[in-house]
Structure 1
């Protein structure tokens, strides 16, 4: 089902500082007719900041939106309401990946081979490991309580 953006381009500022700014009023998921009805409702109740003294208000339907023209005492201001389908959003929350058994860190630790100095019968007794084939002790986050490198003699 498509996601629709309800967009307004409106005149802000006064005199020589007048400019157009664009805002996304809302996002809607559903069919186009529902989104268009919501956009029309918002266009009908819109109260832009300028002009402060209004002499005339006209709302036009145009293509995929509406054009609101407000005539003031000295100048006219406009707001264009547009319906557009959202194709991409760089700030949208990413869908969470479904965890796969091979992505589980606990599985990697349980399947790993014992390292040198990690088994019983070490000459210096520093290994103190859990033995060949036994799983290391893990905390609640799945992190080994004793690091696999602790007691290894083949590293410095």
Structure 2
């Protein structure tokens, strides 16, 4: 598909200080993916940074949000220590766990019967074969049944 421009995917990364004292360290998480322009991703990142409530400190005394290049820096002062949270927007180049997007499949058009040939009658249904597939269980997108098959069974302890 020439001429089709692929939209950029941006990862919104939050690096937050966790723990306290000797166990204080920084953990990073990709909190969302934004498809579109860099400015769209930065706008969403800013919205999240402004509403973010860090775990530490428990009793914040001062909160400062700063813009820094490709993101934001949140510094929250506690009674004895300051805690920092960095918000970064970064272009997603590769994701080993990304869901597979199926390629579009062209469906062949229905063959048109010529007026010279009579339509053949359909074969009679096999009485042993059910009309509908046996597995008519409602499932989530990942294939897991919405209602477990064991739920409501009387023969289970």
Q: Please give the range of the TM-score, normalised by the shorter of the 2 chains.
A: 0.5 to 0.7
Whole-Å separation in 2 of the counterparts to 1:47 and 1:9: 13
| Structure having the higher Rg | 1
Matched residue, 1:79: 85
Q: Secondary structure at the match of 1:11?
A: strand
TM-score under structure 1 length normalisation: 0.61
In structure 1, C-alpha distance between the alignment counterparts of 2:10 and 2:103, rounded to whole Å? 25
Q: Tell me the equivalent position of 2:25.
A: 19
Q: How many residue pairs get matched?
A: 102
CA distance in 2, matches of 1:82, 1:76: 20
Alignment correspondent of 1:31: 37
Distance 2:77 2:60 in 1: 6
Structure 2: where are the runs of 5+ without partners?
A: 1-6, 107-157
Which whole-Å CA distance do the structure 2 matches of 1:30 and 1:99 have between them?
25
The aligned residue for residue 118 of structure 2 is: none
**Match for residue 45 of structure 1?**
51
Q: Which runs of 5+ in 1 are unaligned?
A: 101-156
> 1:96 Cα shift?
2.7
Q: 4+ residue runs of structure 1 moved beyond 6 angstroms? A: none
CA RMSD of superposed structures (Å) = 1.9
TM-score between both structures, scaled by the size of structure 2: 0.61
Structure number having the greater helix percentage: 1
In structure 2, the partner of 1:67 is 73
Determine the C-alpha separation between the residues in 2 that align with 1:67 and 1:93.
Answer: 31
Post-superposition Cα deviations, 1:83-105, rounded to whole Å, max 9, x if no partner, equal: 000000000122335679xxxxx
